[in-house]
Amino acid sequence: MAKDHRAGSKVRGDKLPAILMASHLLEGDTVFLGDSGWTMDPTAAKIAHDAETAAVMEAEGKAAAAANTVIDPYLVPVDLTDHGLPVARHFRDAMRQKGPSIHPDMGKQAEFTPLD
Amino acid sequence: MYRYDEFDERFVRERVAQFRGQVERRLDGSLSEDEFKPLRLKNGLYLQLHAYMLRIAVPYGTLNSRQLRMLAHIAETYDKGYGHFTTRQNLQFNWPKLKDVPDILGLLADVEMHCIQTSGNCIRNVTSDQFAGVAKDEVEDPRPTAELIRQWSSLHPEFVWLPRKFKIAVTGAEHDRAAIKVHDIGLKLKRNDQGEVGYEVIVGGGLGRTPMIGKVVREFLPKDELLAYLEAVMRVYNSEGRRDNKFKARVKILVHETGEEEFRARVEEEYAKLDGPTINAPEEEVERIAAYFAAPTYEDLPETSQVLEQARAIDPELDRFVAQNSFEHKQPGYIALTIALKEIGAVPGDMSADQMRAFADIAEKYSFDEFRVTHSQNLVLPHVRKDDLPAVHAALKAAGLASANAGLITDIIACPGLDYCALATAKSIPIAQAIAKTFADQERQKAIGELPIKISGCINACGHHHVGAIGILGLEKGGRENYQITVGGDATEHASLGERLGPGIDAEDVPAAIEAIVETYLAEKTGEESFIETVRRTGAEPFKAGFAAFIESRTAQHEAAE
């Protein structure tokens, strides 16, 4: 079976800070690991500033995938805005944080406070 | 139109029940994602960047008003109020929830539709000429053949786990509108010297990362031998096609690596071993299927419609629409009408639920309750009385469906690209929108004439960029989106692959680059030559030179700005 996904972030070099992104099994929506469980809100994503935290978050993602809550969790390297909000460094991950560029009325950008 | 018999009905209903059970087991954890994924893909359900995506089969692109109204209902109830027509004449919903999909499949079954074999390594939805049964240059209607193949290939036990996906297209006309030379198998209905009807069989065409033009493996296959011969081709592919490397698993690679003659010999050898009569469809079954595609009851009408002529004389908009979007019908007094889902600035192939309902009414009232989806992401009303055209145009206009640009530079094919697709490396739709806006002026479009632009957002080529007169391929380069441009691609009977003009460029430079290419064409063209005819005559060289000059001036501008 062909893969229908390009899983993982494509960012080269420094991988921190980072957030953890996945797809919600039931809804299909992109979700982020927050301080207390998974959230649809990109501004509520928990940020790993060091490798240890990132590793813990990644393990939490794998456990959630094994528990059939999410699919394909992966760490996403981000830059922080002046307000400390995480913006994905790669344009593909940034598209998942916002929603389709051709439909500003759909996806996260329509439902949550913008990241930048 | 074909109607399900009791076997079709039962088969589709059973499949819905099976998938409902599979979803339940996925949600309660009895199936892991790795176990579930092949099952959902077999039912057309993908997971993309923002949500699941459901791909619905539209066999050979034929639909009726009842089906379209159901699609509108699903779009509003379970999605975000729109659907997207694809380059395989299918329809995709971009936002369904996993828990709703079994119910959606149930509703589709109510109108004789399903998502089976729209994904996975099986024989996919068979595509055909959107003017099937209408075109004057047609030997025979290709739809009964397409339907026969659909029935034969649906869950064919031998071919449900092929090395890779497998796509078949059928045309019955001299002019190829079904792109049969770039399919795994392309079939062309033709007559031999004795006047008998049969097929030219082309194998091993395809796009993707290794584009190839198909090879003729049989000049003439008697019509009643079709299924046994297809089975022979599939058996050779199934046993010898590569399974070690998915990028080399399509039949085009097998034909290429084996060599055309050797491949042909192997197919004939396999064919000789098969017991044809047990495989080929019995004559009465072929006739039963063909009866569903009998021509509608046309009225006896004069070729010219006074009503239409008078209306065109006083309404320039109607005049332009008819001149650009109509296709000559074999029945006097009728035409086939292309509805370009390509309003300037719109998403190619998108249709809102309201538009679906309005269009369903139009098809029901004015086109014998039938319409077609084209591989160019447009729709066709196949049988419109010329007398009715002014009314049809008014109704289309009211629904925002009267874009008079069929076949022109703004009638662009674009894959969903990075806006939705998990495989994409770059955006595709915004590039189409930017080009369409650049060339929005109708007089300018008309002066440029027929010019198919095709855009893919990754190397898999769902946007058919290799066979675009101008092809655009979006890739990632150095962490940015980058676009390569080709000219000279052609998906018709003159099939050819485009040639790259030079280095890739940034998204914002694409519209100006297309303008530079068009300028080269206008300078080089002689007489009434279309863009592709000019490229065929001159080769890519003048276009490369024009493109190089464009890059140079653009670089100078960038440097001056810094």
CB of B124 closer than 8 Å to CB of B104? no
CB contact under 8 A, B422 and A96: no
In B448-477, the residues whose Cβ lies within 8 Å of chain A are 476
* Chain B residues inside the 8 Å CB shell of A2: 121, 164-165, 246
Residue type, B534: T
CA of B120 vs chain A CAs: smallest distance (Å): 6
Are residues B540 and B437 located together in one domain of the fold? yes
Q: For every residue of chain A, which 3-state class applies, written as one string?
A: CCCCCCCCCCCCCCCCCEEEEEEECCCCCEEEEECCEEECCHHHECCECCHHHHHHHHHHHHHHHHCCCEEEEEEEEEEECCCCCEEECCHHHHHHHHCCCCCCCCCHHHHCCCCC
Residue type, B25: R
CB contact under 8 A, A2 and B47: no
Q: Is B156 helix (H, G, I), strand (E, B) or coil?
A: coil
CB contact under 8 A, A5 and B47: yes
Whether A7 shows a pLDDT value over 80: the answer reads: no
> Can you tell me the distance from the alpha carbon of B527 to that of B534, in angstroms, rounded to the nearest whole number?
10
- Which of A12-26, A69-83, B195-209, B390-404 shows the lowest per-residue confidence on average (mean pLDDT)? A12-26
Are residues B511 and B541 located together in one domain of the fold? yes
Which H helix or E strand runs over B200? strand B197-203
Are residues B427 and B555 located together in one domain of the fold? yes
Side-by-side strand order, sheet with B168-171:
B127-128, B168-171, B185-191, B197-203, B215-222
Q: For every residue of B472-494, which 3-state class applies, written as one string?
A: EEEEEECCEEEEEEEECCECCCC
Are residues B190 and B286 located together in one domain of the fold? yes
Structure-token pair, residue B246: 């998915």
Distance, first Cα to last Cα, chain B: 62
Residue B548: phi and psi, rounded to 5, are -60, -40
Q: Is residue B405 part of a domain?
A: no
Alpha carbon B156 to chain centroid, angstroms = 23
* Chain A residues inside the 8 Å CB shell of B33: 25, 65, 68, 71
CB of B104 closer than 8 Å to CB of B74? yes
For A60, B316, B405, B446, B521, the CA distances from B443, given in Å and listed in that order, are 59, 13, 11, 5, 17
Residues belonging to chain B: 562
Bond before A17 cis per omega within 30 degrees: yes
* Chain A residues inside the 8 Å CB shell of B98: 25-28
Residues belonging to chain A: 116
Distance, first Cα to last Cα, chain A: 39
Are residues B35 and B169 located together in one domain of the fold? no
- Strands A70-80 and A37-39: what pairing? unpaired
- Residue B88: which CATH number? 3.90.480.20
> Can you tell me the distance from the alpha carbon of B408 to that of B383, in angstroms, rounded to the nearest whole number?
22
**What DSSP letter does each residue of B374-399 carry, written as one string?**
-TTS-EEEEEEEGGGHHHHHHHHHHT
Range of the domain at B237: 134-291
* Chain A residues inside the 8 Å CB shell of B427: 101
Are residues B377 and B236 located together in one domain of the fold? no
**Where does residue B347 rank: exposed (0-12), middle (13-18), buried (19+ CB within 10 A)?**
buried
* Chain B residues inside the 8 Å CB shell of A104: none
Are residues B323 and B271 located together in one domain of the fold? no
Residues A28-50 have pLDDT tens digits of 999 999 999 999 999 999 999 99
Nearest to B49 by CA among A112, A103, A95: A95
When CB atoms are compared, the residue of B37, B52, B418 closest to A95 is B418
Phi-psi group of B158: left, alpha or beta (phi > 0 → left; psi -120 to 50 → alpha; rest → beta)? alpha
> Can you tell me the distance from the alpha carbon of A110 to that of A99, in angstroms, rounded to the nearest whole number?
8
CB contact under 8 A, A28 and B80: no
**Closest-CA residue in chain A for B95?**
A28
Are residues B422 and B528 located together in one domain of the fold? yes
Whether A4 shows a pLDDT value over 60: the answer reads: no
Whether chain B has a CB inside 8 Å of the CB on A15: the answer is no
Are residues B435 and B552 located together in one domain of the fold? yes
CB contact under 8 A, A92 and B49: yes
- Name the pLDDT band for A10 (thresholds 50, 70, 90): confident
The total of other beta-carbon atoms located within 10 Å of residue B444's CB is 14
Angle at B361 between CA B357 and CA B366, to 5 degrees: 150
Are residues B278 and B205 located together in one domain of the fold? yes
Q: Give the number of domains in chain B.
A: 4
- Strands B127-128 and B168-171: what pairing? parallel
Are residues B284 and B204 located together in one domain of the fold? yes
Q: Is residue B425 part of a domain?
A: yes
CB of A42 closer than 8 Å to CB of A88? no
Q: Which single residue is written with the structure tokens 């890519």?
A: B540
Whether chain B has a CB inside 8 Å of the CB on A14: the answer is no
**What DSSP letter does each residue of B415-430 carry, written as one string?**
--GGGT-SS-SS--HH
- Which residue out of B22, B49, B437 would a mutagenesis test of the A interface target, given it has the greatest number of A Cβ atoms within 10 Å? B49
Residue type, A18: A
Alpha carbon B117 to chain centroid, angstroms = 16
Q: Is B315 helix (H, G, I), strand (E, B) or coil?
A: coil
**Closest-CA residue in chain A for B163?**
A1
Are residues B106 and B153 located together in one domain of the fold? no
Eight-state DSSP code of residue B295: P
- Residue B155: which CATH number? 3.30.413.10
Where in chain A are the domains?
A: 18-107
CB contact under 8 A, B96 and A100: no
In A78-97, the residues whose Cβ lies within 8 Å of chain B are 90-92, 95-96
Q: Is residue B119 part of a domain?
A: no
CA of A97 vs chain B CAs: smallest distance (Å): 9
Residue ranges in chain B modelled with pLDDT below 70: none
> Can you tell me the distance from the alpha carbon of B146 to that of B325, in angstroms, rounded to the nearest whole number?
26
| Complex-level ipTM | 0.93
> Can you tell me the distance from the alpha carbon of B52 to that of B95, in angstroms, rounded to the nearest whole number?
6
Domain boundary among B398, B425, B455: B398
When CB atoms are compared, the residue of A10, A27, A100 closest to B97 is A27
- Name the pLDDT band for A2 (thresholds 50, 70, 90): very low
Angle at A100 between CA A97 and CA A102, to 5 degrees: 145
The total of other beta-carbon atoms located within 10 Å of residue A100's CB is 23
CB of B376 closer than 8 Å to CB of B413? yes
Q: Is residue B298 part of a domain?
A: no
